[in-house]
Structure 1
Amino acid sequence: MWAWRRSCPNSSFDAEVIETYVVGDINDERYAILRGLVINGPWQGKDKWTPETQGYGKKLPKAKTMNNKDIDWDVPEITSAVSEWIKEISEFAVSDIAITDKEVTFKDNALREYLNLMRPNLTKIGCAEVLCNDNGMNKYRAFCLTDKPPLKPNEVVYEAGKGGCKHGENCPQETCDKFGMCDVKP
């Protein structure tokens, strides 16, 4: 997805944490999908997620923040939210009616966050988080927006492809990285 650094003035997020555990984890999952290595749900094999059922992907660019912050690992934070969204595919399967020889469509609300993050045409992401104490109980909320609107029912998540730019897919105005994903130029 994204390969260059973007600056977020006045951000409280640590740049290295965002690059590794948000953008990096999302890109790792996208690489796995592109290679057909993601198991579709807790009980199915990877046969429904082969390179032939995926379009080429783009890497998320590495994020950059201006302010560094010490992280208290005992408190929930944006990396735990992204991790939970990525784990959705381990708990729920993309339904058979959502996968054809030509495309994968959005039909599974249980996978909403996961599928929105895995779309090949995303090039930007921005996240916010808040931790509030309400009568002695911590309440954590995380929210991420991308440069594409949320998927609507029956909207295409991926089109069938050859398994990435290393296998003949084109990267318009971009370059192909060593893993077969398109690097977005600034």
Structure 2
Amino acid sequence: MQSIVVYCGSSPGTNPLYNEVALELGKKMAAQGIRLIYGGGGFGLMGDVADAVLQYGGEVTGVIPNFLADLEVAHKTLSELHFVETMHERKYKMVQLAKGVIALPGGYGTLDELFEILAWRQLKIYEGPIAIININGFYDLMIQQLDRMVDDGFLKPQNRELLIVAESVDEALEQISAFWNGGEMESLE
């Protein structure tokens, strides 16, 4: 395991628990030598994860479209920052650099990224593991919707299983590690 993409909000949200989980994820990724690949922003949960990885000696690669960089939302102290023209280029570049994906809470952008990477996985465009950290039940209703899609014949059960649902940072990192280690539940620590 060399790197993981993290999708999450550019806002901190209203529950401090989400910030705590973002900081925990960043700290544990740094401790385990996992490079963070993310959208390059310096605010919200995105900024929290990046700051924690950097604070604990890890490496962070941001990928940001020029129009967002022009709005001065880019993080200023990353290990590496790539500039691209479009949001599509950003998403593609991020997953090219990573061996797995984790989604924390977020808004439209987070869900857009999550569902696009799930569609890519279903189509075998992307082969890595995809996990959500369902902290505080944030993704409960989305999970119910996915199950409804299976029940109503719009999503094959095997494609529903492409999404790893974790309840903690440790569980998400363990599941991603297990994916690459032949299914064995081996910690990245």
Band of TM-score, shorter chain: under 0.3
Question: Over alpha carbons, which structure has the higher Rg?
Answer: 1
Q: What TM-score, normalized to structure 2?
A: 0.25
Higher helix share: 2
Work out which structure has the larger RCO, using CA pairs closer than 8 Å and 6 or more positions apart in sequence: 1
